[in-house]
Chains A and B, each alone.
Chain A
């Protein structure tokens, strides 16, 4: 199983269809294959052992991904917004790489695209069929140093085969990708869109107005946003119409249910999908489907309504267990650690091998529980839990309450060291533009829903929160900003 097989199938099945880029200047499936093979020749002639991609998202990215596959080397997308020191350190791990991006000794993505889409004749590289890593993604490392996650061809192809029907998209469908190329969702989107036959459009840098304009002008039918993008779209004043958009998926970080509820009210005809996955699992492992969302709105049953805070049920090819600290699987309703297995689960790190137990299960390090119908609820990272006195407090629960306040745009709740309680609960909030709030009244607002022991002792106003680009809160940086020792 090789990524090139997916492209071959697309070229055989709908070769003339524009599969990536704008209607006006995009590439057909056959043109994408030609470009990828031309790129593979460049890489092979250079004797490179990887393609490092440090540019913004665009047409050059899918070309680079498949060029790497034809050349039998991994694609390594790196975060171009990292500081020079960090970026150099990651690039140094791939000294033999062909680099697409800005800077000395590299080929900018536009030039790469020009060269690979030229009409010059070339000798095709014979693709290998070994199951090597197709993509290496460095995790953003909210808790530690970046680790290189190895996604083998078999992991990514299994993900596609397990979750997408070939040629299932109409030739008028288009998917808009707004997350950067070094995120697993961007990698997955290239191959799932291609396999479905859905034209892939990318947005270089997310801006809510530009996103809306592109959705309307390009007739986008499917899009993925991270929760912070969703919140910003909902804050747009004026025209929030979505043209031909049918499905809006959100994921990459926990979505506050207040934001999701507002989205459902704003765009009642849209199909919403909540996706949960990790880099190590080749993207999505559980989905809350459009029908699930509609059921929530239609139901008075609090058990069903709570599912808006769930990430849905595992994909058919994924086995998922909630386990206690002793490793024993737990029953429904009992929170524990989420373990997963399946062909799409790589769980493999550069220099460290596969991190799975004897049954092939990988510890996601996420906490969660399954309800009686198998819906998965994520309870935040284990490390996030605040222990105040003897009580375990999930910051997400408090954040959810504060987010319901009309003046609040964003919120982070953390525990700070406390002599009496072990930890005390504090919150940082970001206000909506032009809004003011009385902090004591805000505490009262929280206390009216939460017990007193869960009400933040201190609430401060910040202009922004330390989030990764996909919107994951970096809690240790919140703690740092409070000026407390970590």
Chain B
């Protein structure tokens, strides 16, 4: 699937939901619990999770791949894990910006 920045995606295996905050140009396979994420609002066919992809997604964390091509923000937590092309995403370092308003 080709992703857009700001696009909301939901898991088909649990409650996990994300917003894409950085996307590559081409098509990618972004999964949660091993099953592809689908655009929020589209019809969801529930599926079972791959047991290797059940380490949890934490609310408010940013998830990135090792090359930094994809970043998503978890807007709803769930027990399943996010992955790109089968490789689990890692949480990104917190941004160190001071509050300014």
A264 at the interface (CB under 8 A from B): no
Most buried by B among A175, A196, A273: A273
Query: What residues on A are CB-neighbors of B75 within 8 Å?
Result: 5, 8-9
Query: What residues on A are CB-neighbors of B98 within 8 Å?
Result: 247, 249, 271, 273, 287, 289-290
Bound-state CA distance A247–B99 (Å) is: 8
Using CB atoms, name the residue of chain A closest to B61. Answer: A166
Using CB atoms, name the residue of chain A closest to B19. Answer: A1
Q: Assess whether B41 is in contact with A192, with CB atoms less than 8 Å apart.
A: no
Q: A129-B41, A163-B97, A249-B100 are in contact. Are A158 and B6 (CB under 8 A)?
A: yes
Bound-state CA distance A189–B101 (Å) is: 5
Most buried by A among B5, B21, B101: B101
Q: Assess whether B100 is in contact with A251, with CB atoms less than 8 Å apart.
A: yes
Q: A5-B75, A129-B41, A165-B94 are in contact. Are A196 and B6 (CB under 8 A)?
A: no
B44 at the interface (CB under 8 A from A): no
Q: B60's contact among A13, A198, A277, by CB below 8 Å, is which?
A: A13
B8 at the interface (CB under 8 A from A): yes
Q: A12-B59, A161-B73 are in contact. Are A287 and B97 (CB under 8 A)?
A: yes
Bound-state CA distance A251–B100 (Å) is: 8
Q: B101's contact among A9, A154, A185, by CB below 8 Å, is which?
A: A185
Quote the shortest CB–CB distance from B72 to chain A (angstroms).
11
Using CB atoms, name the residue of chain A closest to B59. Answer: A13
Q: Assess whether A161 is in contact with B60, with CB atoms less than 8 Å apart.
A: no
Query: What residues on B are CB-neighbors of A189 within 8 Å?
Result: 101
Quote the shortest CB–CB distance from B92 to chain A (angstroms).
10
A316 at the interface (CB under 8 A from B): yes
Query: What residues on A are CB-neighbors of B5 within 8 Å?
Result: 343
A346 at the interface (CB under 8 A from B): no
Interface residues of A in 97-139 (CB under 8 A from B): 129
Query: What residues on A are CB-neighbors of B100 within 8 Å?
Result: 163, 224, 249, 251, 273, 275, 283-284, 287
Interface residues of B in 75-101 (CB under 8 A from A): 75-77, 94-95, 97-101
Quote the shortest CB–CB distance from A193 to chain B (angstroms).
8
A167 at the interface (CB under 8 A from B): yes
Query: What residues on A are CB-neighbors of B6 within 8 Å?
Result: 1, 154, 157-158, 343
Q: Assess whether A167 is in contact with B101, with CB atoms less than 8 Å apart.
A: no
Q: How many A-B pairs with Cβ below 8 Å?
A: 82
A437 at the interface (CB under 8 A from B): no
**Size range of the chain B interface in the assembly:** 20 to 34
Q: Main SS of chain A's interface residues?
A: mixed
Using CB atoms, name the residue of chain B closest to A186. Answer: B101
Bound-state CA distance A189–B100 (Å) is: 9
Most buried by A among B21, B41, B61, B77: B21
Interface residues of A in 291-335 (CB under 8 A from B): 315-316
Using CB atoms, name the residue of chain B closest to A283. Answer: B101
Bound-state CA distance A84–B59 (Å) is: 46
Using CB atoms, name the residue of chain B closest to A9. Answer: B75
Quote the shortest CB–CB distance from A436 to chain B (angstroms).
39
Q: Assess whether B59 is in contact with A166, with CB atoms less than 8 Å apart.
A: yes
Query: What residues on A are CB-neighbors of B40 within 8 Å?
Result: 129
A164 at the interface (CB under 8 A from B): yes
A402 at the interface (CB under 8 A from B): no
Query: What residues on B are CB-neighbors of A277 within 8 Å?
Result: 101
Bound-state CA distance A275–B95 (Å) is: 17
Bound-state CA distance A284–B101 (Å) is: 8
Q: A5-B75, A12-B76, A129-B41 are in contact. Are A164 and B19 (CB under 8 A)?
A: no
Query: What residues on B are CB-neighbors of A164 within 8 Å?
Result: 97, 99
Bound-state CA distance A198–B6 (Å) is: 24
Quote the shortest CB–CB distance from B10 to chain A (angstroms).
12
Quote the shortest CB–CB distance from A283 to chain B (angstroms).
5
Quote the shortest CB–CB distance from B3 to chain A (angstroms).
14
Q: Assess whether A196 is in contact with B99, with CB atoms less than 8 Å apart.
A: yes
Bound-state CA distance A154–B4 (Å) is: 13
Interface residues of B in 1-15 (CB under 8 A from A): 5-6, 8
A222 at the interface (CB under 8 A from B): yes
Using CB atoms, name the residue of chain B closest to A251. Answer: B100
Query: What residues on B are CB-neighbors of A8 within 8 Å?
Result: 75-76
Q: Assess whether A165 is in contact with B95, with CB atoms less than 8 Å apart.
A: yes
Can you add 10 more A-B contacts, CB < 8 Å, to A193-B99, A247-B99?
Answer: A5-B19, A13-B59, A13-B60, A163-B97, A163-B100, A165-B95, A166-B59, A251-B101, A287-B98, A316-B95
Query: What residues make up the interface of A, taking CB atoms closer than 8 Å to B?
Result: 1, 5, 8-9, 12-13, 129, 154, 157-158, 161, 163-168, 175, 185, 188-189, 192-193, 196, 198, 222, 224, 247, 249, 251, 271, 273, 275, 277, 283-284, 287, 289-290, 315-316, 343
What are 20 A-B interface contacts by the 8 Å CB criterion?
A: A5-B8, A9-B76, A12-B76, A12-B77, A13-B59, A129-B41, A157-B6, A164-B97, A166-B60, A167-B60, A196-B99, A249-B99, A251-B100, A275-B100, A284-B101, A287-B98, A287-B100, A289-B97, A289-B98, A316-B95
Query: What residues make up the interface of B, taking CB atoms closer than 8 Å to A?
Result: 5-6, 8, 19, 21, 40-41, 59-61, 73, 75-77, 94-95, 97-101
> Lowest 5 A-B CB distances belong to which pairs?
A166-B60, A275-B100, A188-B101, A284-B100, A185-B101
